[in-house]
């Protein structure tokens, strides 16, 4: 899948053209639980610019943009502004963790900043729009010892707690 995430048009916050990828989750997120989200992106060979701030937003129900403009939400996970996603031939990893409010059941991926606020550098393509391919999208509960409060000593018996969520 892919989306147009930028166009160097100098448009204001309201009129920056955007496309987003949006998908329902298998199960709602649990409140207070830490989740790791990751996805890979590759810049289209026709793109004139590469950007950094691709991100992931989790919501209760789908979010709709005003027309095809920037969504008025703040993503929970965003690629750092200094990590420009420039590769035309490799899949670049975007990842991060966040604490769920609870009940989030939709994931939205894209650029949540206006064109004017989006860090961009020139690329080799000639298209006015910047298009990225997205792949290998994952949302995983962070269930390490710090998250669960459980430590199992090697060689000792153990049992599983009842799951809080289904992946």
Tens of pLDDT, residue by residue over 47-97, are: 999 999 999 999 999 998 667 888 989 999 999 999 999 999 999 999 999
Determine which of 23-37, 108-122, 133-147 has the lowest per-residue pLDDT on average.
133-147
Determine which of 4-18, 107-121, 125-139 has the lowest per-residue pLDDT on average.
4-18
Maximum Cα–Cα distance across the chain? 62
When comparing pLDDT for 148 and 8, which is higher? 8
Distance between CA atoms of residues 59 and 75, nearest Å: 9
**52 token code pair:** 């950094």
DSSP state for residue 155 in the 8-state scheme: T
Query: Which pLDDT belongs to residue 148?
Result: 55
Q: Tell me if the pTM is above 0.75.
A: yes
Residue 23: closest CA among 100, 110, 96: 110
Residue 115: closest CA among 127, 129, 125, 126: 129
Query: Which pLDDT belongs to residue 34?
Result: 94
Name the burial class of residue 36, with classes exposed (0-12), middle (13-18) and buried (19+) by CB atoms within 10 angstroms of its CB: middle
**Residue range 102-129: mean pLDDT, rounded:** 93
Query: Which pLDDT belongs to residue 7?
Result: 86
Determine which of 22-26, 77-81, 126-130, 131-135 has the lowest per-residue pLDDT on average.
126-130
């Amino acid at each position: 899948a892919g989306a147009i995430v930028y166009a160097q048009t100098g448009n204001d916050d309201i009129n920056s053209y955007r496309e987003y990828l949006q998908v329902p989750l298998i199960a709602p997120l649990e409140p207070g639980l830490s989740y790791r989200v990751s996805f890979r992106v590759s810049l289209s060979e026709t793109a004139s610019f590469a950007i950094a701030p691709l991100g992931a937003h989790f919501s209760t129900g789908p979010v709709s943009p005003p027309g095809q403009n920037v969504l008025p939400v703040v993503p929970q996970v965003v690629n750092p502004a200094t990590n420009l996603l420039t590769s035309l031939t490799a899949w670049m990893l975007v990842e991060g963790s966040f604490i769920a409010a609870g009940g989030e059941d939709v994931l939205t991926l894209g650029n949540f900043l206006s064109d004017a606020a989006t860090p961009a550098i020139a690329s080799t393509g000639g298209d006015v729009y910047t298009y990225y391919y997205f792949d290998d999208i994952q949302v995983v509960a962070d269930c390490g010892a710090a998250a669960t409060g459980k430590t199992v000593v090697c060689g000792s018996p153990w049992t599983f707690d009842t799951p809080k969520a289904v992946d």
